[in-house]
């Protein structure tokens, strides 16, 4: 029933050289971000911040869609225009985070699973009426000596697949986000093995639940060493490990892989994405970005909650979006960081 709608949405999301802006921080998360600039998190300050991001001049040259928090989808700009309509007027698709966050996999467990399937169909219908054309659901996997457990891999894969099937039945493109966390001392080889196992389970579950692969977007981690690993990897090694993993697990039918930044610095996220796209091997998917902090951080620090800093903050956001757009086509260079 929604096949043409889903196809059109996917085509717009994966436009060449464009990526997604993840602005779907929960109320708790954005409070932590605002604490770094000594700004109280209120409905108005959150609205002002997101409005500043969304009204950045020419941002639609680099951004095809924005993932919104539920509150933001129904908020109205100072001009009286709904924020979702403000995006649509620029040719940017609004989307929405629909999961309800993480809970312990078992009582006392360090592993997490994601909640939010109850009432999801109705929630998606309401979001579509407000302008949303895609959604996002995140599952997380921790790496430790005995983790992730088989139960964690299975439960999170099932949740992602059930969510994706419900989305497509409501005419909403699902972003499937299985994130293998960077926390820990593991090396890049351990991350590659775990990411391979996670993605294999996710796509097995997606097929079981009848999800149309051509009408979804994958939002995975890059294959990286743990943040505390003593041996870090350069962009070339990250690119080779990441593409090798995807070629073993991600069907060519998937139209787009939009990476999460996962705690990387802004520069590392751009350099690694560029190396992935520049790698001289066949890659059947659009490989782009769906970054939150790695796009927003300079803008947030520049803005500082002050109206007089809006233009400078928008310039900072536009720069990071421009550099990641270049990385999405293999055209990023480190010296571009020095150009305003």
Q: Which of 96, 3, 6, 110 is nearest to 50 (CA)?
A: 96
Q: Is 247 a catalytic residue?
A: no
Burial 185-220 (b: 16+ CB within 10 A, else e): ebbbebbbebbbbbbbbbbebbeebebbbebbbbbb
Non-local CB neighbours of 73 within 8 Å, separated by 6+ positions = 83, 84, 94, 96, 127, 130, 131, 132
Active-site residue identified among 136, 170, 219, 266: 219
> What end-to-end distance do the CA atoms of the chain give, in Å?
47
3-state class (DSSP) for residue 181: coil
Non-local CB neighbours of 232 within 8 Å, separated by 6+ positions = 225
Q: Is 177 a catalytic residue?
A: yes
Active-site residue identified among 25, 70, 158, 177: 177
Instruction: Specify whether the CB–CB gap between 244 and 284 falls below 8 A.
Output: no
Instruction: Specify whether the CB–CB gap between 128 and 134 falls below 8 A.
Output: no
> Which residues carry out catalysis?
177, 219
């Amino acid at each position: 029933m929604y096949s043409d709608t889903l196809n059109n949405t996917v085509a717009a999301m994966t436009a060449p050289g464009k990526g997604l802006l993840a602005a779907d921080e929960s109320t708790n998360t954005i409070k932590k971000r605002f604490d770094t600039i000594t700004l109280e998190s209120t409905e108005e300050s959150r609205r002002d911040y997101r409005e500043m991001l969304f009204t950045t001049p020419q941002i639609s040259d680099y951004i095809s869609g924005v993932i919104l928090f539920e509150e933001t989808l129904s908020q109205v700009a100072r001009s009286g225009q709904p924020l979702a309509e403000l995006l649509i007027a620029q040719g940017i698709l609004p989307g929405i985070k629909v999961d309800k966050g993480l809970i312990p996999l078992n009582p006392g467990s360090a592993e997490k699973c994601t909640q939010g399937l109850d009432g999801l169909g109705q929630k998606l219908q309401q979001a579509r009426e407000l302008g949303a054309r895609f959604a996002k659901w995140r599952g997380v996997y921790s790496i430790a000596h005995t983790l992730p457990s088989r139960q964690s891999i299975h439960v999170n894969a099932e949740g992602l697949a059930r969510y994706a099937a419900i989305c497509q039945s409501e005419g909403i493109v699902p972003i499937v986000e299985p994130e293998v966390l960077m926390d820990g001392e593991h090396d890049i080889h351990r991350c590659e093995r775990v990411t391979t196992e996670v993605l294999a389970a996710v796509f097995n579950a997606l097929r079981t639940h009848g999800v149309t692969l051509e009408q979804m977007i994958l939002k995975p981690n890059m294959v990286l060493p743990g943040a505390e690993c003593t041996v870090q990897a350069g962009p070339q090694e990250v690119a080779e490990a990441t593409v090798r993993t995807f070629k073993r697990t991600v069907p060519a039918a998937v139209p787009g892989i939009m990476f999460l930044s996962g705690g990387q610095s802004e520069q590392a996220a751009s350099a690694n994405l560029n190396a992935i796209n520049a790698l001289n091997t066949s890659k059947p998917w659009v490989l782009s970005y769906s970054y939150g902090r790695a796009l927003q951080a300079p803008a947030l620090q520049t803005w500082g909650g002050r109206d007089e800093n809006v233009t400078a903050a928008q310039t900072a956001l536009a720069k990071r979006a421009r550099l990641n757009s270049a990385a999405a086509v293999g055209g990023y260079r480190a010296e571009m960081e020095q150009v305003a």
